Amino acid sequence: MRSAVSLRGVSFGYQPGRYVLRDVDFEVETGGYTAVIGPNGGGKSTLLKIMLGLLEPWTGTVEVLGLPPARARHRIGYVPQASGAVLDFPVSALDVVMMGLPGGRSTKRARSAALSTMERLGIAGLSGMHAGSLSGGQRQRAFIARALVGSPEILLLDEPAASVDPEGQESFYELMAELNRTVTIVMVTHDVGAVSNHVKTIACLSTVMVSHGESLETEAVARAYGCSVDLVSHGTPHRVLGKHEGRGGND
C-alpha cells in the first residue's frame, strides 16, 4: 500500500549541532493509525511540524501523500498542542471551525460546512458559544472539527488528550477510531497511558526512533523514558499489545 507519510533519514535541530531528531525513519501507510509516544522534549511536536512543512529537515527526505509536505498541506488536518490559541479572543466555536477552510470570507457555504462538521462531532449545539468558555473536551472537539472541515486525508494531532478528563478521553478515542475509517491518523502524546487500544501501530520517539511497530519493545521504551514510573506502573505496552491482537476479530 502507498505510504501516507514517509520520512527517510531525517535529522533536525533548532540550534546547530544539537539534534532534536536524529536519522529518523518513519512510515505511516494510508489508512493507518499511529500513536507516537516519547518523553517530553523527545521531538514529537517537531516531527509533526516537519510533516507539515513548517520546518525543513537538515538532512533526509519527507513525503506526505507522495508530495513535498508544503504542497500536501491543504490535505492535512492539524490539531496543534492546545496552548497555542488565544483563549480570550472574541470568536465563537463556529468561527474557530471555519478557520480550517480556505478563503477569507464568512460565506453561507463556509458556515454550513463548519456546522455539518460540528454536527458530526456532536458539538453543533455549541456553535454560538464563545470558544474560550468551552470545556476542555468541547474545545478539543472544536479544534478537531477545525482540522476536519477541509476534508483532509491525514489527521495530525499533538497531545490531543492533554486537556480532557478521563471520561472524555474514552469517547475521544472512540471518535478517533471512527474517523480512522476514512482518514489516516498520526497522534502524538507523552502520556503512555493515554494510548488507545485502537491504534494500529505505535512509535516511540526520543530524538531517535526507538521503536515503531504493531507493539512496543518494552525495554527499549523504558530506556527512552529513563525508567518512567508511568510505564512501569501501568504496564501499558502489554495492554496495548493484548487488546490490539484481539481486535481483528471484532471488526
Ligand X SMILES: Nc1ncnc2c1ncn2[C@@H]1O[C@H](COP(=O)(O)OP(=O)(O)O)[C@@H](O)[C@H]1O
Site of interaction with Mg ion (CB under 5 A): 45
Judged by CB under 8 A, does residue 131 bind other proteins?
A: yes
Cβ 101 to other proteins, closest distance in Å? Answer: 7
Other C-beta atoms closer than 10 Å to the C-beta of 72 total: 22
Cβ 43 to Mg ion, closest distance in Å? Answer: 9
Judged by CB under 6 A, does residue 226 bind ligand X?
A: no
Task: Report the C-alpha gap between 231 and 193 in whole angstroms.
Answer: 7
Binding mask 90-129 for other proteins (x = CB under 8 A): xxx--xx-xxxxxxxxx---x-------------------
Alpha helices (H) in the chain, listed in sequence order: 44-51, 69-72, 93-98, 108-120, 136-148, 166-179, 218-224, 229-234, 236-250
Query: Which residues are registered as beta bridge partners of 29?
Result: 3
Judged by CB under 8 A, does residue 86 bind other proteins?
A: yes
Other C-beta atoms closer than 10 Å to the C-beta of 40 total: 8
Other C-beta atoms closer than 10 Å to the C-beta of 133 total: 12
Judged by CB under 8 A, does residue 89 bind other proteins?
A: yes
Residues that bind other proteins (CB under 8 A): 49, 52, 54, 70, 73-74, 76, 78, 80, 84-86, 89-92, 95-96, 98-106, 110, 130-133, 146
Residues that bind ligand X (CB under 6 A): 14, 20, 38, 40-46
